[in-house]
Amino acid sequence: MGRLSRSYTLAVFWPRLMRNRLAVAGGSVVLALFVVSLCASFLSPFNPSSIHAYSVLSPPSWHHWCGTDELGRDVLSRLLYGSRVSLKVGFVAVGIAVTIGTVVGLVSGYYGGLVDAVLMRLVDVMLCFPAFFLILAIITFLEPSIWYIMMVIGLTGWMGVARLVRAETLSIREMDYILAARCIGCSNLRIIFRHILPNAMAPVLVSASLGIAGAILTESALSFLGIGVQPPTPSWGNILASGKDFIEFAWWLSLFPGLAILITVLSYNLLGEGIRDALDPRIKR
């Protein structure tokens, strides 16, 4: 991706993004998910934990739009509350990963030499382990908790961001304005965070958007396997897991949470691709 110059302002970025219909569609769905997660308590027709013995495994109807599960709980209500868990995991985990990766990439690219060699070898070592299996190995030694899941996903997902930021920093540190900042006596920390970081944010924004989709997918997979968010707290993963035993005659228990995961992940990917194209001055739209 081309370096985001200071002259490339929001006034240029926004129209380019708006002309990308797929990115706009993805962004609209992401915005709708925010509203749904914030207003879940008002939009939910039932309490997601309320058990109704006379409505066990009821198919979709006007009373229960997405049917009920094996305990008679309303699936739509659980999906609405589950969106809070999925989005929380996505944003917190990616926030941790982006923070660590950005700092490592800035320090490695700016100082170079031995510092760069040591940090990049650490990145290479971390990349040697398959991310999902590394997360599985760590989670099995911890008590199942949403906070542990967010921390583990974040602590195992910063390497890609570090490499992107390092590449941008290696290019930016040779610019004339960085040399001018050194000549007037600016400290290294000021140069890194005041002059380099703002111009290295383009790949970080794209990586963060795509990383949220990956974190939501990882959390759903962990919950599906039973080592993620634990019942009765609803998440899309454990709702999907509860439906696998009844898939032959209660298809709605697998269909609706699966669609929620699919649409959410696809929307974040489309938005991330659109942001990448809008920030790339080499792509003309």
- Straight-line distance from the first to the last Cα atom of the chain, in angstroms, rounded to the nearest whole number: 16
Number of structural domains in the chain: 1
Tens-place pLDDT, residues 65-80 = 888 888 888 899 999 9
On whether the CB atoms of residues 88 and 216 are closer than 8 A, the answer is no
pLDDT above 90: percentage of residues in the chain:
22
Q: 68: helix, coil or strand? A: strand
Tens-place pLDDT, residues 143-195 = 777 888 888 888 888 898 999 999 989 888 888 888 888 888 888 888 888 88
Interatomic CA distance for residues 179 and 192, integer angstroms: 12
Q: Is residue 230 part of a domain?
A: yes
On whether the CB atoms of residues 79 and 258 are closer than 8 A, the answer is no
Can you point out the beta strands (E) in the chain? Answer: none
Domain assignment of residue 104, given as a range: 10-39+75-279
**pLDDT band at residue 24 using 50, 70 and 90 as cut-offs:** very high
pLDDT at residue 194 in the model: 86
Q: Is residue 172 part of a domain?
A: yes
Number of residues written out for the chain: 285
Tell me, what CATH number does 79's domain have? 1.10.3720.10
Q: Is residue 157 part of a domain?
A: yes
pLDDT at residue 45 in the model: 85
Q: Is residue 285 part of a domain?
A: no
Q: 74: helix, coil or strand? A: strand
pLDDT at residue 11 in the model: 67
Among 37, 34, 39, 51, smallest CA distance to 231 is for 51
Torsion of CA 221, 223, 226, 228, to 10 degrees: 110
On whether the CB atoms of residues 224 and 22 are closer than 8 A, the answer is no
Q: Is residue 60 part of a domain?
A: no
Tens-place pLDDT, residues 70-118 = 888 889 999 999 888 888 888 899 999 999 999 999 999 999 889 999 9
Q: Is residue 70 part of a domain?
A: no
Interatomic CA distance for residues 76 and 64, integer angstroms: 7
Output the pTM of the full model: 0.84
| Between residues 25 and 141, the one the model is more confident about | 25
On whether the CB atoms of residues 85 and 234 are closer than 8 A, the answer is yes
Query: Could you tell me the two tokens for 11?
Result: 């006034």
Q: Is residue 2 part of a domain?
A: no
Tens-place pLDDT, residues 212-262 = 888 888 888 888 888 878 878 888 888 888 888 888 888 888 899 999 999
Q: Is residue 53 part of a domain?
A: no
Q: Give residues with Cβ within 8 angstroms of 182, minimum separation 6.
A: 191
Q: Residue 24, exposed/middle/buried by CB under 10 A (0-12, 13-18, 19+)?
A: middle
Query: Could you tell me the two tokens for 239?
Result: 């709702």
On whether the CB atoms of residues 101 and 162 are closer than 8 A, the answer is yes
